[in-house]
Structure 1
Amino acid sequence: MDILIKAGQLILSLSILVVLHEFGHFFFAKLFKTRVEKFYLFFDPWFSLFKFKKGDTEYGVGWLPLGGYVKISGMIDESMDKEAMAEPPKDYEFRSKPAYQRLLIMVGGVLVNFLLAFFIFWMILFKWGESHIDVNDAKFGLDFHPIAKEIGLLDGDIVTSVDTHKVVTSKDIASLLILEDAKQLTVNRNGEVLTIDIPEGFGKRIIGEEVRSLAELRFPFVVDSVLPKGNAIDAGLQKGDSIVTINGEDASFFREATAIIESNKGKRVTIAFVRNNEPMETRCAVSDDGKIGIGPKVNDYFNVTSVKYGFWEALPAGINKGVNTLVGYVKQLKLVFSKEGVSQLGGFGAIGNMFPPTWNWYSFWSLTGFLSIVLAFMNILPIPALDGGHVLFLLYEIITGRKPSDKFLEYAQTAGMLLLLALLLFANGNDIFRAIFK
């Protein structure tokens, strides 16, 4: 069921993004009286799931969910319609339009995706606002992944800055280490401020070792909920129990406890806890996925900083969020050219796993806004077969006054399509490899 929910969110999100992206091309094409032969969600080799024709345009839904397209008359695109291009240009064709009009037609999709992302972030902030837990409000400090402890961090430390970048939430630490090529951490340890040097390449190591959470808020492990059909209820654990040790190891804080439990998958553990000031002990089975069926008390230990926005107040905040998302994504691209970054490239499986296993509109729209930024930026890259490739050749024409030959554009389109196909196969192959070998 989790897979179906994630897949449903992925398909809906990409469908929204693809349709609106192609509408951007469609809008400018119609504005400049350029004929659009097809407008499709998903690709339709050999047959389509649904189609109808209105005016000169055939609208439809293909069966291959790898994107979508608009087929514009007189344009060398993925259709590679060489016969039509061999005929004399017609007034309604793309190739007959002035260069500036062709440029606007090509950037239309990217423009719509950027505007859509800003609109989504605007509406998210208006509807839900923003909330976070500041690291300085973490009275028990932070818990750290083992590789963070290797450079000198200790559970209970609070990282206040990475180089000159202020740390606001625990998630900022890893992202700053990865994106900013940082050299030093400033740490508050029991009221004492100290600095820790960061080894060279530590950010790449975080990626290479697939560290999902470098630092988390530290809090005592007090049971807040017990699943009705879990192992914990069979062991007699109750809401309000304070975990002390598991198999004799200190487990008074949540992350320490979960690490011990996960290391005993499929086994039984001895849990010592306190109930109503009375020390108690029980034996509990651990499931094969490293769970016992309890949830911790969290909210009582932290102050949540919340910001609410009015309708118009949320607009500049949404634009700022979109710009910051774009800047962060662009910074991540440098990692693609490293061994660690290449190994983490993913396709539709990786994107689908970004969505939560339960339907959540806040998460759905947040991820859709992010993917809209990604789609816009990736499409504007100067790679033949992408919008950016067409834009590059059009800018060359505008600057030099010389139009690249149709034969050159055909070769460039073919090369670009082969490159994109190779990247698609590699990224989705990575997904399959990770699924098989965990």
Structure 2
Amino acid sequence: MEIAVKFGQFLLSLSLLIVLHELGHFIPAKIFKTKVEKFYLFFDVKFSLFKKKIGETVYGIGWLPLGGYVKIAGMIDESMDTETMKQEPQPWEFRSKPAWQRLIIMLGGVTVNFILAFLIYIGMAYAYGDYYVKNSEVKDGVWVQNPVVEKAGIQTGDKILSIDNKKVDKFSSAIMSDLLMAKTVEIERNGTPQTITLPQNFIGQFIDADKRNAISLRMPFAVGGLADDSKNKDVLKAKDIVVELNGQPVKYFDQAPKILETYKGKTIPGVVLRDNKRVPVQLNVNAEGKLGVALGAIKEDNLTRLGYYKFSRESYSFFESIPVGIDKGIEQLAGYGRQLKAIFTPSTGAAKGVGGFYAIFNIFPEEWSWQVFWAITAMLSIVLGVMNLLPIPALDGGHVMFLLYEMISGRKPSDKFLERAQMVGFFLLIGLVLFANGNDIYKLFFK
């Protein structure tokens, strides 16, 4: 059932982005009286799942969910319809239109992608507001769960003060992505500030470690469940919070392993918080220095009630949400630009993190959440827009590059040149797709 929910979100998001992107090409083409022969969601290699001709355009759904397309008459695109290009240009064809009109048609898809992302962020600011922990509330520092982050010099209990000289005011999931792109991070350890210079291949090391939760809020030792072979099945209950081990206070889960390590195979006294009462228990530590329990999640309001963190909520009116959403969109766009730069810089090792369709599928949660769905869709819309702007023939950016050359020089590239460029671009794209999805396969089966 969880896979079906993930797949449903993935398919809905992908379909929405593809249809709107292609509409971005379709609408200006129609405005400039350019014939659009096909409008397809997914690719119709050999056959279509559905198709219907309305007017001069065939609308359809293909079976191969690798994208979508509009086939514009008189345009050299992925269809490579060279026979049509040998005939005399017709007034309704793309090649007969002025360069500025062709430029608008080609930029329409990415324009819609960026507008969509900003509209989603504005809508999310209005509907959900902001929910976060002020960085000043993280009094006992962060929880570091990744050996690569520890090796870089950041430890559990450190307070993150700034990243690349930008002060951290809010502690959120974005802090890790900012850290991955950073060169320096300022921390406070035992009351003393210090600056840590991160290694150039920090991203690559992080990807190789294959751990997602690298830095997070420190959490109480809440019991989520017990293993079948746990000797504490009759001692502990789900939702218990371990607060003391052999007389030593345990405020956070990360403090427990060091204490338990010294009592392997022994029974020690402990105290748990159960129904808001301190309950003494006798805990059995196994040979590995563990209690045989899984860490449980605690809701934000309970964390506040227990005195761990105070969560802040900011609500916005419709007009207030507009600049907030725009700022969020600009922040995400700039962040993805930094990621793209890192990917094309071999020394960072970021290329190892490039993923294909499985990676996209995997970022959707197993439970349906409209808030998460729209956040991911907005992010993917920015990714799609930026990727399509890359100056690679066969992408929108490649067409734009040649159109700008034509407008500046006054010379239009020959159809033969454009056909060859399209083929080169096509093979480059195939290579990128194979590389990205090959990364997915490697991670799935070999890591």
Settle same-fold status: TM greater than 0.5: yes
**Equivalent residue for 1:334, pick from 328, 341, 362:** 341
**Equivalent residue for 1:382, pick from 370, 384, 391:** 391
Task: Indicate the residue corresponding to 2:181 in structure 1.
Answer: 179
RMSD: 3.1
The residue type equivalent to 2:336 in the other structure is Y
Change (3 A) 1:227 1:404: same
- State the alpha-carbon separation in 2 of the partners of residues 259 and 422 from structure 1: 48
TM-score (norm 1): 0.88
Task: Indicate the residue corresponding to 1:149 in structure 2.
Answer: 150
Task: Describe the superposition over 1:270-312 as per-residue Cα deviations: whole angstroms up to 9, x where unpaired.
Answer: 78641444431345999xxx96374446343111121111112
- State the alpha-carbon separation in 2 of the partners of residues 436 and 197 from structure 1: 35
- State the alpha-carbon separation in 1 of the partners of residues 378 and 258 from structure 2: 34
Deviation at 1:331, TM superposition (A): 0.4
- State the alpha-carbon separation in 1 of the partners of residues 30 and 281 from structure 2: 74
Map 1:66-85 to 2 at 5 A.
66-85=66-85
- State the alpha-carbon separation in 2 of the partners of residues 227 and 308 from structure 1: 39
Specify the SS of the correspondent of 1:20.
helix
Task: Indicate the residue corresponding to 1:200 in structure 2.
Answer: 199
Map 1:36-47 to 2 at 5 A.
36-47=36-47
Specify the SS of the correspondent of 1:49.
strand
The residue type equivalent to 2:271 in the other structure is V
Task: Describe the superposition over 1:222-281 as per-residue Cα deviations: whole angstroms up to 9, x where unpaired.
Answer: 45x6699997994442344425459x99965224558999x9xxxx99786414444313
The residue type equivalent to 1:237 in the other structure is L
Task: Indicate the residue corresponding to 1:165 in structure 2.
Answer: 166
Specify the SS of the correspondent of 1:133.
strand
Specify the SS of the correspondent of 2:22.
helix
1:76–1:410: 8 Å Cα contact kept in structure 2?
yes
- State the alpha-carbon separation in 2 of the partners of residues 428 and 176 from structure 1: 25
- State the alpha-carbon separation in 2 of the partners of residues 125 and 259 from structure 1: 42
1:226–1:293: 8 Å Cα contact kept in structure 2?
yes
Deviation at 1:150, TM superposition (A): 3.5
Task: Indicate the residue corresponding to 1:364 in structure 2.
Answer: 373
Deviation at 1:175, TM superposition (A): 3.1
**Equivalent residue for 2:271, pick from 265, 270, 274:** 274
For structure 1, the residue ranges without an aligned partner over 5 or more in a row are: none
Map 1:121-160 to 2 at 5 A.
121-145=121-145, 146-160=147-161
Deviation at 1:178, TM superposition (A): 2.6
Specify the SS of the correspondent of 1:29.
helix
Task: Describe the superposition over 1:296-333 as per-residue Cα deviations: whole angstroms up to 9, x where unpaired.
Answer: 46343111121111112111211111111000000011
**Equivalent residue for 1:321, pick from 321, 328, 333:** 328
The residue type equivalent to 1:387 in the other structure is D
Task: Describe the superposition over 1:395-419 as per-residue Cα deviations: whole angstroms up to 9, x where unpaired.
Answer: 1111111110000000000110111
Task: Indicate the residue corresponding to 1:350 in structure 2.
Answer: 359
Change (3 A) 1:138 1:59: same
**Equivalent residue for 1:412, pick from 417, 421, 431:** 421
| Residues paired across the two proteins, number | 426
Change (3 A) 1:21 1:122: same
Deviation at 1:381, TM superposition (A): 1.1
TM-score (norm 2): 0.86
Specify the SS of the correspondent of 2:319.
coil
Specify the SS of the correspondent of 1:298.
helix
Task: Describe the superposition over 1:71-118 as per-residue Cα deviations: whole angstroms up to 9, x where unpaired.
Answer: 000000000011111111111110111111111110011111111111
Specify the SS of the correspondent of 1:312.
helix
Specify the SS of the correspondent of 2:18.
helix
Change (3 A) 1:295 1:302: same
Change (3 A) 1:96 1:284: farther
2:165–2:186: 8 Å Cα contact kept in structure 1?
no
- State the alpha-carbon separation in 1 of the partners of residues 417 and 256 from structure 2: 63
Specify the SS of the correspondent of 1:371.
helix
